[in-house]
Amino acid sequence: MSNKSYAYEWLLFSLKNLNTAKLLYDVNHYEDIIGIEIQQALEKALKSLLAYENKKIPKSHKLVELLVYVDLELNDNEKFLLEIATDYYKVDRYPNPNYSLPSRVEIKEVLNFTEKLFDKICIRLKIDGLELINE
């Protein structure tokens, strides 16, 4: 039995992160901060699929790992974008030799993908994205 209300809650939180990322992008904010919002939007959107199916939600920020638990077809490029977005939330995002800021072009590409995936998940779960916006 599906749990649409639980999925709805996850999607609402995802939408907040997505809208924050879009607002920050539009005002030319820092790419690393936008990236964190994008990663969180994707993570919560993927977890909404698990919530809908009443499945245990793993405590993981690794987006490709979460993809294993959900029934969602993505092409290789989309999986690659999930890998990129996962890196936005890494613990070592603080200044160190391995840290680099994402480019504005990369952020825009991942942001566009995030919007499309969010919409795809809303359609799949029969949740009106506009209804979420008015929440």
| pLDDT single digits (tens) 99-118 | 678 999 999 999 999 999 99
Distance of alpha carbon 32 from alpha carbon 103, whole angstroms: 9
Residue 56's φ and ψ, nearest 5 degrees, are -60, 135
pTM across the whole model: 0.92
Contact 40, 111 (CB under 8 A): no
pLDDT digits (tens, 9 = 90+) for 84-101: 999 998 755 666 776 678
110 DSSP 8-state letter: H
Residue stretches of the chain with pLDDT short of 50: none
Give the pLDDT confidence score for residue 92 in this predicted structure: 57
The whole-number pLDDT of residue 131 equals: 72
Q: Residue 106's domain spans which residues?
A: 4-133
DSSP state of 72: -
**Could you give the number of structural domains in the chain?**
1
Q: How far apart are CA 54 and CA 7, in angstroms?
A: 9
* pLDDT at residue number 133: 72
Q: What's CA 75's distance to the chain center, in Å?
A: 16
Residue 130 pLDDT: 67
CATH of the domain at 97: 1.20.120.330
